[in-house]
Amino acid sequence: MTRDANEPAHGGQQRLSRRTVLTTMGAVPVLTVAASIAGAGEAAAATANINPAAPRQTIRGFGAMAHAAWIGDLTAAQRDTAFGAGEGRLGFSLLRIPVGENRADWSRDLATAKRAVELGATVFASPWNPPASMVETFNRNGQTNARRLRYSSYGAYATHLNDFATYMRDNGVNLYAISVQNEPDYAAEWTWWTAAELVRFLRENAGAIGTRVIAPESFQYIKSLSDPILNDAAALANTDIIGAHLYGTSYANFPYPLFTQKGAGKELWMTEVYYPNSNANSGDAWPEALDVGEHMHRAMVDAGFQAYVWWYLRRSYGPMREDGRISKRGAMMAHFARFVRPGYTRVDATANPASNVYVSAYRGGNTVVIVAVNKNTSPVSQQFTLANTAASGSVANWLTDASRTVAPQTALAMANGSLTATLPARSVTTFVTSISGGTTTPTPTLTATPTGSVGTGPRVTYTMSTWNNGFTAAISITNTGTSTINGWTLGFTLPTGQSITSGWNASYSPASGQVSAVNAGHNATLAPGATVDIGFQATHTGNTAEPAAFTLNGIACTVA
């Protein structure tokens, strides 16, 4: 991306603008096609069947880009709005920041990154250019000032990227990953890379980078840029995340069969987009914002992405308006980000139970989250059925339509794993329930002081998902006692070499050794028989053992 999507390309360069690309690829706003969408009268859709026992991809998170040098830093309040998970927050769990070509610029996004980490978010970074001393110019199809990294500087560039990661770590931010290059195939204003150059760098130099490596971040998910990486064993071994942007990418090109075939152990992230346009003040355009909801659905379901990251976090066409308020586009993102937390897994669900209705489902421990998008001009009666469970209980739900923005609604009832709900016209609804029969409501309140008895042997389940130097841990805590717990602390010891980088639904301290996980405001109360799901993301140095024992408020737990 350039400094502002609304600015024309400069320097006399002749190239398609983003808007031209989007129009060419058929990204048409809802307003222009509304007449073709179902009209008045509540329609009944086919049952949306959800199988919590059929996992798909693990979700790393949702987020956006902060770039203080180009659009100014976020304020303290805006950081909390972006990365907080309560009412009136976006719930972002990912932050993308730039890698400055000059070391003097590295501190610009540090304050925002540190606050994001404090609120449980994961930070990654992308460079636009290497240091000028490493770059040479060449003639690329008539662009006489095109830039590329000199081959003799490949090693120095790997050191540069590693130095940035070290700088961030030394200042309190452990980068989850760093990219080789932002949009190497759309680089008239930054640095070009061919697929062969990327493969060579990954093969020969990326192994020296001490954090996960992202490549290639093609601006339009052009597979000819990432296929060579997947087809080269040495390059792939030094690549942790296949990153892509979705500017003008048709839905037909979302699936990636080669990644499915050869990407075992690797992650697939969508690291930048705005959609469907960057028109001024379009963040609140309605019902156009519903296009974002469908786009996110398809990114999760059709493409199988594990991350979804917007371009500028704060912009008139972005998730946060310039005044710091959440836009309608931001509401679409919050319906996923606030409730589908890092480490949750997308599970099988009927994706399109009716025309213009899109359903996806996610599981974290015993918590099941359903996101339903209804683009019709009339309400839809939608039944959801959870397979292999007879769970009954309350279902928390949040709604965005023309007049409401991620607004909490009256709880619904699920009986024997089945729920029927009305999806209002032109709306997005998120449903959150528990397949253990309890209710999971991620709306913060003040943290309570621990009281009550935990009874005998609270039950803990601990499930790890590991990769080469990291893992996520999903933890379920069940109150097996006869009295309500008002405030809790889970104690455990992480094995040697493991260190927590971020977490959800609890506060974790310290990052390694003997850890205490203290309840969040929204889950301080644990009724008899109820279960709460928490988790964290961590690094390891080869030891992927699980903690040997757990205590809840000092009482030894049974490990299931």
DSSP element (H, E) containing 18: helix 18-25
d(CA 204, CA 8): 37
Q: Is 118 a catalytic residue?
A: no
DSSP 437-462: S--------PPPPPBS---S--EEEE
Nearest to 272 by CA among 321, 305, 237, 239: 305
Question: Which residues does 122 contact at the CB level (< 8 Å), separation at least 6?
Answer: 60, 61, 93, 94, 95, 176, 342, 501, 502, 537
At residue 355, what are phi and psi to the nearest 5 degrees? Answer: -55, 130
**In which region does residue 408 sit, left (phi positive, over 0), alpha (psi from -120 to 50) or beta (all else)?**
beta
Q: Which amino acid is at 143?
A: Q
Annotated active-site residue in 101, 217, 267, 272: 272
Q: Say whether 101 is catalytic.
A: no
Catalytic member of 101, 183, 217, 267: 183
Which 3-state string (H, E, C) describes 62-118?
Answer: EEEECCHHHHCCCCHHHHHHHHCCCCCCCCCCEEEEEECCCHHHCCCCHHHHHHHHH
Considering only CA atoms, which of 315, 265, 216, 414 is closest in space to residue 5?
Answer: 315
Contact status, residue 503 vs residue 517, Cβ threshold 8 Å: yes
Question: Closest by alpha carbon to 168, among 102, 105, 129, 113?
Answer: 113
Q: Name the nearest CA neighbour of 125 among 113, 137, 111.
A: 113
Ranges assigned E (strand) in 121-266: 122-127, 135-140, 143-149, 177-179, 212-218, 241-245
Closest CA relative to residue 62, chosen from 405, 362, 322, 296: 296
**What is the CA 411 to chain-centroid distance, rounded?**
26
Task: List, by residue number, the catalytic residues.
Answer: 183, 272
